[in-house]
Structure 1
């Protein structure tokens, strides 16, 4: 197996694992999953309704379907830095990650929030 085909196989495996996790999160608590995954209701419904055979097709993309949520080295440093992991730190992490999409959404929509 050459390095490229090995890499593509790894991407397919990550994609399938991610899609299965997405479905599980949506089935367990749709509202929380939509918040964590930053999904619109229509996309959440579509993803939760897809059969495994369709998930497998989608996972076969050569592109990663998930993305890295941290968009700055400061956020990465804050989340990986020294200190105790406690409820306050986890809350701060959630705020950092949730705030990222909100700011991006404002930029994409010209400063207006969709709702």
Structure 2
């Protein structure tokens, strides 16, 4: 994959992520903060971004979203093919709920 193509893909992912995050925050802020793994300060910033600001952020050459975990157990639970998928997802959700939300530095 060429560098320009990679950068285009990153921008597309960023834009989709930022639009989804903003929509989630505007619909149900508390649930969105939990699902996004962010604190209230960052939630307020994202929620109040103008379209122009959102597009500028999305145009970054680095991914704005990231994995919320670096725990092998959570990764294995989320990627496993158990018969009871709902139970596995619930287990992962419980484990991830204990992780701290990201804060604006």
Q: Which has the higher contact order (CA 8 A, sep 6+)?
A: 2
TM-score normalised over the length of structure 1: 0.77
Supply the RMSD in Å over aligned alpha carbons.
2.1
Number of equivalences: 102
Deviation digits for residues 44-98 of structure 1 (CA, Å, limit 9, x no counterpart): 1121111111100001111100001231222211222232112x33321211222
Match of 2:56 in 1: 57
Pairwise CA distance, 1:23:
0.3
Q: Distance in 2 between matches of 1:69 and 1:46?
A: 19
- Superposed structure 1 runs of 4+ greater than 3 Å apart: none
- Structure whose alpha-carbon radius of gyration is higher: 1
TM-score (ref. length: structure 2): 0.83
**Aligned twin of 2:3:** 4
Change (3 A) 1:72 1:40: closer
Q: In the alignment, is the contact (CA less than 8 A) between 2:11 and 2:61 conserved in 1?
A: yes
Query: Which deviates more, 66-75 or 48-57?
Result: 66-75
Partners of 1:12 and 1:57 in 2: CA distance: 10
Q: Which runs of 5+ in 1 are unaligned?
A: 106-115
Q: How does 1:1-115 map to 2 (within 5 A)?
A: 3-83=2-82, 84-86=84-86, 88-101=87-100
